[in-house]
Amino acid sequence: MTSRSRDELFRIQQRLAHKGYDPGIVDGVWGRRTEAAVRAFQKDNGLLPDGIVGPKTFQALFGEASNAAPVDNSALVWFQEARRLMGTTEVGGAGSNPEILDWATDRGIPYKSDDIPWCGLFVAHCIGSTLPREPLPTNPLGARAWMQFGAPCDLTLGAVLVFWRGSRNGWQGHVGFYAGEEAGGVLHVLGGNQSNKVCIARLGRDRLLGARWPSTVPASNAGAFKVAAGTGILSSNEA
């Protein structure tokens, strides 16, 4: 999934700075200062100050509609952060990837080692760092706790997907972001702790417990995103 989203976010930050709104470092990485700059711009231009660069805000910023591909949609800032982190890998054996530990520190989540399943931590980082007003689950490390996140939604790019692992009636689970689907009920999931890294895995739809959407972001009507069939066996145990 080649990403042009960072270029798009970089362009938005540049435009905000040009118009006198401080987005912080212009680096194509979404953070609190960029979100605050967007809200200030929206307030000054009679737009809903939600901090999301949707179609109306993009039009006001640039005087034209966005022609970005669906996967590069700049309104899905949490999903673009997830894409930016693809390839991040835990440290095998002793030691931990300090970047993964920093995600926990930034969110105030007790977490000492990337030997502990971190799919929920990855989702918490992506959402918490880009949607600062969005409530996170009480126990974000617990994959099934994300069934209490936001609101139920249809399958659409960026939706949080929660899966059972081991047994549907058990306590184990997995959580990641919807990145598309193949014909025949195979979901593409962008998540952490998949083969010990951030990547896209193929999971069977029969394991899906539910899809959730951030409560502070307008609901998406984009619908399913069809992708070409992948290869290899389906993932069955993401820990």
pLDDT tens per residue across span 211-226: 999 999 999 888 999 9
Judge if 39 and 97 occupy the same domain: no
Using 50 as the pLDDT threshold, list the residues of the chain that sit under it: 1-2
Judge if 69 and 88 occupy the same domain: no
Predicted local distance difference test score (pLDDT) of residue 184: 84
Predicted local distance difference test score (pLDDT) of residue 134: 96
DSSP structure string for 198-224: EEEEEEEGGGEEEEEE-TTSPPP----
CA torsion angle for 70, 90, 162, 127 (degrees, to 10)? Answer: -60
Judge if 30 and 118 occupy the same domain: no
Predicted local distance difference test score (pLDDT) of residue 47: 94
Q: Locate tokens 């737009």: which residue?
A: 47
> Quick one: 151 exposed, middle or buried, by C-beta within 10 A (0-12, 13-18, 19+)?
exposed
Whether the model clears a pTM of 0.85, i.e. scores above it, the answer is yes
Judge if 69 and 112 occupy the same domain: no
Look up the CATH number of the domain holding residue 146: 3.90.1720
Judge if 63 and 87 occupy the same domain: no
Examine residue 219 and state whether it is found in any structural domain, yes or no. no
Judge if 49 and 86 occupy the same domain: no
Using the 3D structure, point to which of 42, 75, 108 is the last residue of a domain: 75
The tokens describing 190, both together, are: 């962008």
What's the total number of domains in the chain? 2
Judge if 85 and 199 occupy the same domain: yes
Judge if 138 and 49 occupy the same domain: no
Judge if 195 and 127 occupy the same domain: yes
- Domain of residue 119, residue span: 78-213
